[in-house]
Structure 1
Amino acid sequence: MHDELPVQESGPTASGSSPASAPGSTPAPRNPGRADQLDRRGGLDRLGWSVLRPAPVVCLTLVAAVIATGFAVRSSTAEMGILIWIDAHHTPALDGVAWALSWAFESPRAIAVVVLLAAGVAWRCRHLIDGLCAGIALALTWGTSYLVKLLVGRHRPAWTLLRHHVGGPEQDPSFPSGHATFTTALVVVVVMCTRRGWRVWIGAVGCVLAAGVAASRLYLGVHYPSDVAAGIVYGAAAGYLMVRATTLVSHARPDRRAGQDEDELRSGPGEIS
């Protein structure tokens, strides 16, 4: 009977390679961590989980601050003067741009964006669960912002005080801006799904888009400035939290793929499996 070989710890050595197999034995397949895989190809990786450990607490604080601010300004119309000033500077060209930006992220188109994001991330990362996590994170951020709208119940700016009407009045609650929330959360999710080398560029382009959509809501007179500011803060903070939550839930699910041993079914915190 052969003597038992000493058990070696699984995982890569300090040099990054798998430990050597015993002579005559079948080498174990290397099992790189999901975070390593996603870092190479882009995906919902461990962005900021170790370096930005306080980030979840900060984001939760910001979400709470947005809700508290909503109750504080719910009955205020002091910002109406800003909208009247903007209304006095309307031009035909800006009317078209503002209307187009706002139209592009109305609910039917926003739902399509969620679906396209999920499909794009799943295709790029070659894992359906990555796409589902991205789409769910964006949808949850957007959906919970509407719950905040209902909770706060702030009325829209007075339509009759504005002279230039592009589109029609909106009747749902005003705080926070759903457009600002959605586009900001979209930027956050896309950046967290992107290769590290591209994050700055995509983030910069995304910020320009989000700022343009937010400005269009003020230009059209359908939101107060505080509504838009709150939407930006909520979209960034809740978007980050939703990505973290969906990845953690994903990695905790039982993986039942055949042919893998127990070590291959584990993922580290914050990774999508």
Structure 2
Amino acid sequence: MTERMKILGGLLLLLLTALLGVAAKTATLTRIDIRLDEHLTPMRDAVLTLGAKGATVAAQAAVGAVIAVVVPIGLWLLRRRRDALIAVSVMAGSLAVAFVAKISVAEHRPPQRLWVIPPDNKESFPSGHATVAAAVALLLFLLVRGRLRVLVAILGVLFALGVGLARVYLGVHYPVDVVGGYLVATGVSLVVVGFFDIPSIRRGLEDVGTPVSGRHHAGRASRVTAERR
């Protein structure tokens, strides 16, 4: 997939998020969402509730903010500068877009009778916790390379799905809110990766931190290679 296709695909997903936000406020979809939430109510027990609360803590906005700072710093020190910028852009961008969407859509939370815990704010769409969880899953896939990539990708997907289910189980989100969070993180990630895949930007980041003599040597070598051709 080219960088342009990634950016376009990401923007389309964000547009779909906006349309889903409009649909989320309709009476028909709200009734469907409430029924789905109510189906989970009989399944509640102490163990599942404890796990759902743990998933909520693990994917709260504060965790996303910490990841947006700590992970990029670590990657930058390891000279993975492009990855560092991708990490901060994906996490911070996802949080920012989710916040703007919440304020813009202003969807009400599910009825209070369904709550196991009080929600952290009044707005329901999209789920901030689902956004953070999906962004973490996507970052794992983007940053980890080699044989571990498939494993961390699977773990990331399970984490994101678990957090989304937990938020619906706790009665503080509709299923459509969780889907919206996933779309936000995926859309932002595609736009960010597509942007940093632009050849001129990629080359510029590769030059950052490279000694001037090294750049001259690389340039000379490329010229010699071109002349031989």
Name the TM tier (shorter chain): 0.7 to 0.9
- Please give the alpha-carbon distance, in whole angstroms, between the structure 2 residues aligned to 1:55 and 1:229: 20
The runs of 5 or more residues in structure 2 that have no matched partner are 220-229
RMSD of equivalent CA atoms:
2.6
> Where does residue 55 of structure 1 map in the other structure?
6
Q: CA deviation at 1:260?
A: 4.0
Query: Which of 87, 92, 110 is residue 46 of structure 2 equivalent to?
Result: 92
Give the greater-gyration-radius structure (CA): 1
Per-residue CA deviation, residues 118-162 of structure 1 (Å, 9 max, x unaligned), is 234335x43455324312321112211211111111111111x32
- Please give the alpha-carbon distance, in whole angstroms, between the structure 1 residues aligned to 2:212 and 2:194: 28
Q: CA deviation at 1:210?
A: 0.6
User: Whose helix proportion is higher, 1 or 2?
Assistant: 2
Q: CA deviation at 1:250?
A: 6.3
Give the TM-score normalised by the residue count of structure 2: 0.80
Q: Which piece of structure 1 moves more, 83-92 or 210-219?
A: 83-92
Change (3 A) 1:263 1:84: farther
Give the TM-score normalised by the residue count of structure 1: 0.68
- Please give the alpha-carbon distance, in whole angstroms, between the structure 2 residues aligned to 1:246 and 1:143: 19
Conserved 8 A contact 1:59-1:237: yes
Change (3 A) 1:200 1:104: same
Conserved 8 A contact 1:98-1:217: yes
Change (3 A) 1:220 1:191: same
> Where does residue 131 of structure 2 map in the other structure?
181
Secondary structure of the corresponding residue to residue 259 of structure 1: helix
- Please give the alpha-carbon distance, in whole angstroms, between the structure 1 residues aligned to 2:136 and 2:196: 15
Q: CA deviation at 1:211?
A: 0.6
Query: Which of 9, 23, 44 is residue 72 of structure 1 equivalent to?
Result: 23
1:216 aligns with 2:166: yes
The percentage of counterpart residues that share the same residue type is: 25
Change (3 A) 1:54 1:131: closer
The runs of 5 or more residues in structure 1 that have no matched partner are 1-47, 266-273
Per-residue CA deviation, residues 243-272 of structure 1 (Å, 9 max, x unaligned), is 33356556547858533445858xxxxxxx
Conserved 8 A contact 1:136-1:246: no
1:238 aligns with 2:188: yes
Q: CA deviation at 1:234?
A: 2.1
Matched length: 212
